[in-house]
Amino acid sequence: MVKQILGRLRVRLVYALAYGVKEVRERGFFAAGFWPPLPQLQEVPALQQARSHANLYELALRHMPGPRPEPKAVLDIGCGAGGGMIYAHAVFPAARLVGVDTNALALKTAWQRLSKVPNLELRQVPGDRTRLPPHAFDVIVGIGSVNAIGPSELLTECARLLAPGGVVSLTAAFALAPAEVEVLFHAAAWQAGLVLRQVSEITEGTRAALAHDRPWTERVVAQVPAPFRGRAREMAALPGTRAAQAMAEGRVRSYAIVVDHPVAAWEAPRLRAA
């Protein structure tokens, strides 16, 4: 337990430092994306230099949840500098958008980029204690946020926030096999009063995105303060790191996880690229 807590604290610290880098704020993302492009990936001019990251939001917002009614409200837990919310607005233009994050600098950048988007709210709060009104969101998305918060803590808050028939769509990396991730999230969802619908391994897509974005990531990591640069390289799984080796050997894998409200009607989509 202590090791898990320390690991989450390190993730949060490097995440905060990364958004001190101008290129990260301008791009709107730090975590890895997903590649190659999915069939429905919408081309958004503001995200032209971050297509793999937009593609990861396409995976989480629409591809993995499958066909559903247009959401009235979307929550991004760990919204960072707002790149994912730009994509959410592009695909769900009528939806109310709310983003939460603990990083003040990232949220300031997000607000600057999204100031003209209607029905938008940004809050500097933890993802497991958002203080948002209950049952207010049809779609809740979290890109890597569960690694910083924990499955049980995150899904407990999501259960409070989710509207009947709503969906929670997450991506994360774990040193666990698919069956173990299913057990972990089945238990966390059941405890929160939700239902685990699917766990899909997306490691190959993550590896492809890391290779696609490597030149940009190397430039960003070089600007992280020296004492934390090694950890930043590990989080970015750059070549030569233990994280890259663990992913190559299959000891660490990436997953897309879909959890929803018990009343939701749902059919598992097929994961395929364009």
Phi, psi of 238 (to 5 degrees): -75, 155
In a domain? residue 45: yes
Q: How far apart are CA 27 and CA 106, in angstroms?
A: 11
Structural domains counted in the chain: 1
CATH of the domain at 202: 3.40.50.150
- Residue 62 falls within a domain, yes or no? yes
User: Cβ(115)–Cβ(139) under 8 Å?
Assistant: no
Largest CA distance in the chain: 50
In a domain, 76, yes or no: yes
Residue 111 lies in a domain: yes
What 3-state DSSP class applies to 202?
A: coil
Q: What is the pLDDT of residue 25?
A: 63
Collapse the DSSP code of 252 into the 3-class scheme (helix H, G, I; strand E, B; otherwise coil) and give the result: coil
Helical H segments across the chain, by residue range: 2-18, 22-27, 51-58, 83-91, 104-114, 145-149, 151-161, 178-192, 203-221, 226-235, 242-248
Q: Is residue 195 part of a domain?
A: yes
What's the domain range around 255?
Answer: 31-208+251-260
pLDDT for the residue numbered 238: 83
How would you class 262 by CB atoms within 10 Å of its CB: exposed for 0-12, middle for 13-18, buried for 19 or more? Answer: exposed
pLDDT of residue 32: 79
**Is residue 200 in some structural domain?**
yes
- pTM of the prediction? 0.88
Domain-embedded: residue 269: no
Query: What would the pLDDT profile of 197-243 be if each residue is shown by its tens digit?
Result: 999 999 999 999 999 988 888 887 787 778 777 777 877 788 888 88
The predicted pLDDT at position 256 comes to: 98
pLDDT per residue over 108-132, tens digit each? 989 988 988 999 999 999 999 999 9
Q: How many CB atoms lie within 10 A of CB 68?
A: 16
Q: Is 118 helix (H, G, I), strand (E, B) or coil?
A: coil
In this predicted structure, what is the pLDDT of residue 2? 47
Residue 33 has which token pair? 């994306």
C-alpha to C-alpha distance for 253 and 171, rounded to whole angstroms: 11
Does the CA dihedral 189-106-42-51 come out positive or negative? negative
* Whole-angstrom distance, CA of residue 129 vs CA of residue 156: 10
Spans in the chain with pLDDT lower than 70: 1-28, 30, 264-274
170 Cβ contact list (under 8 Å, min separation 6): 60, 141, 142, 143, 145, 146, 154, 256, 257, 258, 259
Residue 135 lies in a domain: yes
pLDDT at 194: 95
Q: Are 141 and 61 in contact (CB under 8 A)?
A: yes
For residues 268 and 197, the answer to whether their CB atoms sit within 8 Å is yes
